[in-house]
Amino acid sequence: MRIGLVAHDKKKQDLVDWVMLHQKVLGTHKLFATGTTGGRIVEASGLEITLLKSGPLGGDAQLGAMIVEGELDACIFFIDPLTALPHDVDVKALTRLATLYDVPFACNRSTADAVLAAF
Protein backbone atom coordinates (compact mmCIF):
# COMPACT_ATOMS: atom_id res chain seq x y z
CA MET A 1 0.00 0.00 0.00
CA ARG A 2 1.05 3.59 -0.59
CA ILE A 3 0.55 5.72 2.52
CA GLY A 4 0.92 9.49 2.93
CA LEU A 5 2.04 10.81 6.32
CA VAL A 6 1.70 14.40 7.49
CA ALA A 7 1.16 16.21 10.78
CA HIS A 8 0.68 19.74 11.99
CA ASP A 9 3.54 21.15 14.09
CA LYS A 10 1.99 20.40 17.47
CA LYS A 11 1.07 16.87 16.33
CA LYS A 12 4.38 15.86 14.73
CA GLN A 13 5.67 14.07 17.84
CA ASP A 14 2.35 12.23 18.15
CA LEU A 15 2.75 10.97 14.58
CA VAL A 16 6.39 9.99 15.18
CA ASP A 17 5.29 8.04 18.28
CA TRP A 18 2.52 6.34 16.29
CA VAL A 19 4.95 5.41 13.50
CA MET A 20 7.40 3.96 16.03
CA LEU A 21 4.61 1.83 17.51
CA HIS A 22 3.74 0.50 14.03
CA GLN A 23 7.22 0.64 12.49
CA LYS A 24 7.37 -3.04 11.49
CA VAL A 25 4.05 -2.94 9.63
CA LEU A 26 4.69 0.48 8.06
CA GLY A 27 8.05 -0.76 6.80
CA THR A 28 6.21 -3.15 4.48
CA HIS A 29 4.40 -0.28 2.73
CA LYS A 30 5.53 2.54 0.41
CA LEU A 31 5.58 5.71 2.50
CA PHE A 32 5.38 9.35 1.45
CA ALA A 33 5.54 12.32 3.81
CA THR A 34 5.68 16.07 3.77
CA GLY A 35 9.19 17.39 4.33
CA THR A 36 9.41 18.32 7.99
CA THR A 37 7.17 15.52 9.20
CA GLY A 38 8.96 12.95 7.06
CA GLY A 39 12.37 14.13 8.20
CA ARG A 40 11.40 13.64 11.83
CA ILE A 41 10.00 10.19 11.11
CA VAL A 42 13.12 9.10 9.20
CA GLU A 43 15.36 10.42 12.00
CA ALA A 44 13.42 8.49 14.65
CA SER A 45 12.66 5.29 12.75
CA GLY A 46 15.09 4.88 9.86
CA LEU A 47 12.15 3.96 7.63
CA GLU A 48 12.48 4.59 3.90
CA ILE A 49 10.18 7.50 3.07
CA THR A 50 9.80 9.55 -0.09
CA LEU A 51 9.95 13.15 1.11
CA LEU A 52 7.75 15.79 -0.47
CA LYS A 53 7.77 19.55 0.10
CA SER A 54 6.91 20.95 3.51
CA GLY A 55 3.12 21.30 3.93
CA PRO A 56 3.00 25.11 3.65
CA LEU A 57 5.33 24.97 0.62
CA GLY A 58 3.13 22.58 -1.33
CA GLY A 59 3.51 19.18 0.32
CA ASP A 60 -0.19 18.96 1.17
CA ALA A 61 -0.97 19.80 -2.46
CA GLN A 62 1.48 17.12 -3.64
CA LEU A 63 -0.33 14.52 -1.54
CA GLY A 64 -3.64 15.75 -2.98
CA ALA A 65 -2.29 15.37 -6.51
CA MET A 66 -1.17 11.82 -5.68
CA ILE A 67 -4.71 11.02 -4.55
CA VAL A 68 -6.15 12.41 -7.80
CA GLU A 69 -3.67 10.37 -9.86
CA GLY A 70 -4.47 7.15 -7.95
CA GLU A 71 -0.97 7.04 -6.47
CA LEU A 72 -1.95 7.05 -2.78
CA ASP A 73 -4.00 4.37 -1.02
CA ALA A 74 -4.36 6.13 2.34
CA CYS A 75 -3.42 9.35 4.09
CA ILE A 76 -2.57 9.69 7.77
CA PHE A 77 -2.79 13.37 8.73
CA PHE A 78 -2.55 14.18 12.42
CA ILE A 79 -4.44 17.45 12.51
CA ASP A 80 -4.19 20.05 15.27
CA PRO A 81 -7.75 21.39 15.56
CA LEU A 82 -6.74 24.12 18.03
CA THR A 83 -4.19 26.01 15.93
CA ALA A 84 -5.00 28.34 13.04
CA LEU A 85 -2.85 27.62 10.00
CA PRO A 86 -1.90 29.96 7.15
CA HIS A 87 -2.21 27.10 4.65
CA ASP A 88 -5.61 25.94 5.91
CA VAL A 89 -6.93 26.02 2.33
CA ASP A 90 -4.45 23.30 1.35
CA VAL A 91 -5.48 21.17 4.32
CA LYS A 92 -9.14 21.49 3.37
CA ALA A 93 -8.33 20.63 -0.24
CA LEU A 94 -6.47 17.48 0.82
CA THR A 95 -9.38 16.44 3.03
CA ARG A 96 -11.84 17.12 0.20
CA LEU A 97 -9.82 15.11 -2.33
CA ALA A 98 -9.47 12.13 0.01
CA THR A 99 -13.24 12.22 0.51
CA LEU A 100 -14.01 12.68 -3.18
CA TYR A 101 -11.72 9.85 -4.31
CA ASP A 102 -12.73 7.57 -1.43
CA VAL A 103 -9.21 7.30 -0.01
CA PRO A 104 -9.00 6.36 3.69
CA PHE A 105 -8.06 9.52 5.59
CA ALA A 106 -7.05 9.29 9.25
CA CYS A 107 -6.81 12.51 11.24
CA ASN A 108 -5.91 11.11 14.67
CA ARG A 109 -4.38 8.08 16.36
CA SER A 110 -7.62 6.09 16.59
CA THR A 111 -8.50 6.42 12.92
CA ALA A 112 -4.87 5.81 11.92
CA ASP A 113 -4.96 2.54 13.88
CA ALA A 114 -8.19 1.57 12.10
CA VAL A 115 -6.82 2.39 8.64
CA LEU A 116 -3.61 0.46 9.25
CA ALA A 117 -5.55 -2.52 10.63
CA ALA A 118 -7.70 -2.54 7.48
CA PHE A 119 -4.58 -3.07 5.35
Q: 30: helix, coil or strand?
A: strand
Contacts of residue 101, Cβ cutoff 8 Å, sequence gap at least 6: 67, 68, 70
User: Which amino acid would we find at residue 36?
Assistant: T
88 labelled catalytic: no
> What DSSP string runs through 54-95?
-GGGTHHHHHHHHHHTT--SEEEEE--TTS--TTHHHHHHHH
From 9, 14, 17, 60, the catalytic residue: 60
DSSP strand pairing (74-78 vs 49-51)? unpaired
Q: What amino acid positions are annotated as catalytic residues?
A: 60
